[in-house]
Structure 1
Amino acid sequence: MTKVKSNNLLTPAQAAKNLGISVATLRKYSLIVEKTTANNQYFERNSQNNRLYTQKNIENFKEMVKLSHGPKMTLETSAMQIFPAADAKIEESNGDNKKVEELQVTVAKLESENKKRELTIKELQEELNDAQKAKEQLQVELDTLKQQAQEKVQSADSHEDETIKERVNEKVSDDKKGHWWNKFMN
């Protein structure tokens, strides 16, 4: 607490007049700032424990009010943007930072696992392609062997046909000669 009043420090009435607001509104703004900074002694005080304001405080209040008129902004959120946060807020943000870091580590692990899976999939696809090529080659060989077997069967069939023809011809010629008993019968 400062007991000495300086010329550059304004009383609540002077500061409120400078801002064009009531002393009660100034008190509300001051409480918001003290809550945001988590510092009840953020503003200088006189011997009666009344807040005293600097020109910088007045400018910050004007900026806070101006920001609060933006979309989805309140006096509290605009105060958070203008006034420095207290250690408690820093600790919260550090906690948030730790959570963010943990999430980033988790994301990195998941990305790593995903890359490993992609490599495994790629290797399996290559193996599948090789297996399909091998299957196609085996199919060609099988078709060739079937064709060769068919040709051998046809060749054997034609050879067997010739053998049968020869036997039939022998039989017919034997019939012309007659059977052995025909020799005795004539």
Structure 2
Amino acid sequence: MSKVKTNNLLTPAQAAKDLGISVATLRKYSLIVEKTTANSKYFERNSQNNRLYTQKNIEDFKEMVKLSHGPKMTLETSAAQIYPAADAKEPTDTKQNDEIADLQKTVAKLESENKKRELTIKELQQELNDAQKSKEQLQVELDTLKQQAEEKVENNDTKKDENIKERVNEKVNDDKKGHWWNKFMG
């Protein structure tokens, strides 16, 4: 036991206690790490072949558990992010390459859809501009028609006034001629 303390190595019971988990759970974590690293001797062992843990191992376990709580994460995927993998790296690269290719296809598809939307927006903007120009032209025509209508009303009023004046003058002139004293005066 004194040898363990001088090397700062923790027994499974001590490590489990530090992590707040059972020894069986610690064994599970250790197996995951050994599988991920493809190294069955990743952890030091004592003469009874029990795993011994460093403080760094404890911190790595805590980080692995913390990462595993993220979306779409497991203890295995978390371990793959923390511990260097030997042979497991190649399939991960292939998987990552496939994921990258899929993402690139998705990005290309989204860019294509975005370009189509931009064209649609430009077409709609052009239609809107055309409609606005038509509206302005119609407004000018409406204003012209209103002005012409007002001028007609004024002209008709003026003509009516002139017609009334002419009739009054005619009547007055007729009256002047028609009266008996005008015949004598005239």
TM-score class normalised by the smaller sequence: 0.5 to 0.7
RMSD: 3.9
Highest Rg: 1 or 2? 1
Per the alignment, residue 135 of structure 1 pairs with: 138
Per the alignment, residue 164 of structure 1 pairs with: 167
Letter matched to residue 20 of structure 1: T
Q: Are 1:118 and 2:114 matched, yes or no?
A: no
Distance 1:75-1:61 versus aligned 2 partners, 3 A rule: farther
Per the alignment, residue 92 of structure 1 pairs with: 95
For residues 147 and 42 of structure 2, what CA distance do their matches in structure 1 show?
101
* Identity across the alignment (%): 20
Task: Confirm or deny: 8 A CA contact 2:12 2:26 kept in the other structure.
Answer: yes
Shift of 1:103: 1.9
What is the SS of the residue equivalent to 1:128? Answer: helix
For residues 62 and 168 of structure 1, what CA distance do their matches in structure 2 show?
125
Per the alignment, residue 144 of structure 1 pairs with: 147
Structure 1 window deviating more from structure 2 (99-108 vs 69-78): it is: 69-78
Mark the runs of 5 or more structure 1 residues left unpaired by the alignment.
1-16, 44-50, 178-186
Letter matched to residue 83 of structure 1: P
Shift of 1:148: 1.5
Task: Confirm or deny: 8 A CA contact 1:65 1:75 kept in the other structure.
Answer: no
Per the alignment, residue 78 of structure 1 pairs with: 78
Mark the runs of 5 or more structure 2 residues left unpaired by the alignment.
1-7, 14-23, 45-52, 181-186
What is the SS of the residue equivalent to 1:83? Answer: coil
TM-score, normalised with respect to structure 1 = 0.56
Partner residue of 2:11 out of 20, 25, 36: 20
Letter matched to residue 138 of structure 1: E
